[in-house]
Structure 1
Amino acid sequence: MNIKTRLTAMQFLQFFTWGAWLISLGGYMGSTLHFEGGQIGAIFATMGIAALFMPGLTGIIADKWVNAERLYGLLHLVGAGALFYASTATTYQQMYIAMLLNMLAYMPTLSLANTVSYNALEKYRMDLVKDFPPIRVWGTVGFICAMWVVDLTGFKHSASQLYVAATAALVLGLYAFTLPPCPPERSEKKTWLSAFGLDALVLFKQKKMAIFFLFSMLLGAALQITNTYGDLFLSSFASIPEYADSFGVKHSVILLSISQMSETLFILAIPFFLKHFGIKRVMLISMFAWVLRFGLFGLGNPGDGLWMLILSMIVYGMAFDFFNVSGSLYTEMEAHAGIRASAQGLFFMMTNGVGAFVGGYASGAVVDMFSVYAEGGGLVSREWTPIWMIFAAYALIIGILFAGVFRYKHTPEKTKGDHE
């Protein structure tokens, strides 16, 4: 088996493991385990906790002491154990502990997967720019395949989805030990500060970058909201007779997978948009796309409003990629060579760390604000339309503020934009 095929299998399993539960777990916890909205948000906020320090910590370990592919494999084996434990959880405390452990193990594997891939491709004298993207795109394919498997098997509202994820993690953990060795570069003078992105804090001295990172954190709070509550929202229509047998209810996870399909298309459009419109306009497009994403959820339904839900899924690709990928590219362009890696770590921490943590708890509070629970536990009623409209208003306010305070003058002829 050639190295491209081996790395493709790794990327496929990497995101298959995540896709098996990320979109459907919220629905399972709400409809089957009867967790409250705030509890579901808190469990998803474990992603933010892990993103704050685990990628930097494991990066140091891989740089100094342990082969990256071995550490990668060990983390997936730990994650598999955590997911198996999560499948047995029946209380909020049990699920929180299980998913926190899973996220502590899983989040650093996102960057380690790239490290292992880059190392292997360089060892086989391949072109990273040319050969890596076609390998990485299979990760998104794996994510979509996992969503379809969980939906078509009927696992989306049962613990079986966690068995699927755990099995994939176990297979990947063992498979990782067969990948080309990626030994630590002990000569590298990488500090603890750089690993956590903290030596890039010097960028905050620039007003423009301070504003950019602040808004990255604020928008990062919105990234996982529809992943957390999307399936729970669509499944809620099952209690309405006219929608109970609709495709959007029966196959809600497949409907939600259109979001990931859209993501694979919009990522290809980023170079064009950045070149012609510049980072400020691209970020604004993302922010207003989030307004549409949430607003269409609030107005749509699985019946005559299905077109609004489908349009919301398509818009997601623009909302996610134009912020996440473009923001990363902008950070790369603005940071000087000596702190570029650290700047990327800082961007990741602000969006997937602080942003995801705040977003998890804040969104849970909003959901609970419009939910009525029985005294002994269990949901009595929930008003989804105002919930989604509050999220849409949040994204709209961020967009308006960003347009007013972020100063940037785009120069199409240059690879790096000039700023005011």
Structure 2
Amino acid sequence: MNLKIRLTIMNFLQFFIWGAWLITIGGYWFKTMQWSGTEFGAIFSTMGIASIFMPALAGIIADRYISAEKLLGIFHVIGAGILCYLPQIDNPSTFFVVMLLNMIFYMPTISLSITVAYSALQKNNLDIVKVYPPIRVWGTVGFIVAMWVVSLLKIETSPAQFYVAALASISLGLYSFTLPSCGVNKGGSSKTWVEALGFDAFKLFKQKKMALFFIFSMLLGASLQLTNAYGDIFLHEFDTNPLFKDSIAVKYPAIIMSISQVSETLFILAIPFFLKRFGIKNVMLMSMFAWVLRFGLLGIGDPGSGLVWIIISCIVYGMAFDFFNISGSLYVESQTDEKIRASGQGLFMMMTNGFGAVLGSSVSGVMIDQFFTDTEGLRDWPNIWFAFAAYSLVVAILFAVLFKHKHNPKDIESFSH
């Protein structure tokens, strides 16, 4: 089978698994189980906690001991079993523990799938900047398809969404063992113990530019978790308002929110042009200001006459998400030796979906309960979104001032070699 098609299938299933529950778990949590917002923030922090150590650890294992494609398969098979167990749980504390276990095996697969793709493309002398985005876009398509499947089956508030994810997970787990081998770099006896264990990638923090990059990756990772955690339930809660309860956005919120992923597919394809024209720093800066706009538009939107603002917000999301996450992974690739490729991507994942996710989910959960929820449990969504927008604006301004990076088109061209 053609290499591009093989990697396309991998990306499709990788994000189908996540899309089957990530956006709709809020409906299950608040509507079906009727658990609290603070506890919900803790659930979303599980991906952050797992990402603090697992992507980096998995990267070390993939670089030194077990090839990335095999590790990808092992983790997805285990993840499928855990997803099947989630619907059996009837209390938030146990749900937290099991979801954390699920995230421990899922989160590193994101960076592992990137490693598999980059390795295979480089071995075939293909230009990663040109070839990878059209492949990666099918991951977003997988996420969209999963959201539509869950929404059209009317299981947005049902535990059945976890079974859909489990089916995709076992499929990708088995398929991963057929992917091109990435190999391992065990090294020789002259290696220091730090190099032998694969901790070389942590040396990147010694470089001021890379340290700043990882810090801002963490701060922007917080913004991503906010939109994932609260977007779906934001629309669901309009069902208490007689003016909106019969609107399409309230009946099928996952489909409305999936416009964000449709937008992703367009912006992913635009990344090669923007990177070569404006450079990595400016592209990442565009992402940060897009987050400000994303949250601000949600603050003025509603399922009625304000639906247009929600839709525009979803379109802006494509730039907000892609321009930092994919450009950021390419930036890490440009700054790391191939011997620590997987470890470097693991560090990036650790900062964005690790520390960033914990920061965003834990702080937002408490903040919303304390300052934006009334005594009857009703949330003040406009001011919640405006607070998120203000946070993103501060991060964008600091990044523009502090992160120094001069655009050199040759840096982008180097990905093809």
Classify the TM-score, shorter chain.
0.7 to 0.9
Deviation, structure 1 residue 337: 7.9
* Number of the residue aligned with 1:312: 313
Q: 2:393 aligns with which of 392, 396, 418?
A: 396
Deviation, structure 1 residue 359: 0.9
SS in 2 for 1:155: coil
Over residues 87-143 of structure 1, what are the superposed CA-to-partner deviations in whole Å (9 max), with x where a residue is unaligned?
Answer: 2222111211121111111111123324444566678x5736365544332222111
Asked if 1:233 is matched to 2:231, the reply is: no
Distance 1:19 1:127, change over 3 A: same
Q: 1:384 aligns with which of 381, 386, 401?
A: 381
Amino acid of the residue matched to residue 313 of structure 2?
Answer: S
* Number of the residue aligned with 1:219: 220
* Number of the residue aligned with 1:327: 328
SS in 2 for 1:59: helix
Q: 1:173-252, aligned counterparts within 5 Å? A: 173-179=173-179, 184-187=184-187, 191=195, 194-195=198-199, 197-203=201-207, 206=208, 208-252=209-253
Q: 1:9-408, aligned counterparts within 5 Å? A: 9-117=9-117, 125=124, 127=126, 129=128, 132-179=132-179, 184-187=184-187, 191=195, 194-195=198-199, 197-203=201-207, 206=208, 208-333=209-334, 343-369=344-370, 370-372=372-374, 380-408=377-405
Amino acid of the residue matched to residue 166 of structure 2?
Answer: A
Amino acid of the residue matched to residue 223 of structure 2?
Answer: A
- Partners in 2 of 1:176 and 1:3 — Cα distance? 13
CA contact (8 A) 1:53 1:196 kept: no
Over residues 172-221 of structure 1, what are the superposed CA-to-partner deviations in whole Å (9 max), with x where a residue is unaligned?
Answer: 22333444555544347683675573121211xx3x44443332222221
* Number of the residue aligned with 2:415: none
CA contact (8 A) 2:286 2:323 kept: yes
Distance 1:217 1:183, change over 3 A: closer
Distance 1:29 1:413, change over 3 A: closer
CA contact (8 A) 1:69 1:179 kept: yes
Amino acid of the residue matched to residue 127 of structure 1?
Answer: L
CA contact (8 A) 1:59 1:195 kept: no
Q: Normalising by structure 2, what TM-score?
A: 0.87
Distance 1:405 1:135, change over 3 A: closer
Over residues 67-102 of structure 1, what are the superposed CA-to-partner deviations in whole Å (9 max), with x where a residue is unaligned?
Answer: 443332221121111111112222111211121111
Identify unmatched segments of 5+ residues in structure 1.
374-378
Between 248-257 and 340-349, report the one with greater CA deviation: 340-349
CA contact (8 A) 1:197 1:345 kept: no
- Partners in 1 of 2:279 and 2:185 — Cα distance? 37
Deviation, structure 1 residue 149: 0.2
Deviation, structure 1 residue 392: 0.9
CA contact (8 A) 2:10 2:172 kept: yes
- Partners in 2 of 1:276 and 1:70 — Cα distance? 37
Q: Normalising by structure 1, what TM-score?
A: 0.87
CA contact (8 A) 1:195 1:345 kept: no
CA contact (8 A) 2:16 2:144 kept: yes
SS in 1 for 2:377: strand
Between 267-276 and 348-357, report the one with greater CA deviation: 267-276
Distance 1:413 1:105, change over 3 A: closer
- Identity, in percent, stands at 56
- Partners in 2 of 1:89 and 1:295 — Cα distance? 36
- Partners in 1 of 2:115 and 2:398 — Cα distance? 37
Amino acid of the residue matched to residue 150 of structure 1?
Answer: V
CA contact (8 A) 2:137 2:269 kept: no
- Partners in 2 of 1:210 and 1:11 — Cα distance? 29
Deviation, structure 1 residue 289: 1.3
Between 61-70 and 49-58, report the one with greater CA deviation: 61-70
Distance 1:127 1:214, change over 3 A: closer
* Number of the residue aligned with 1:376: none
SS in 1 for 2:223: coil
Deviation, structure 1 residue 415: 4.2
- Partners in 1 of 2:341 and 2:186 — Cα distance? 20
Deviation, structure 1 residue 364: 0.9
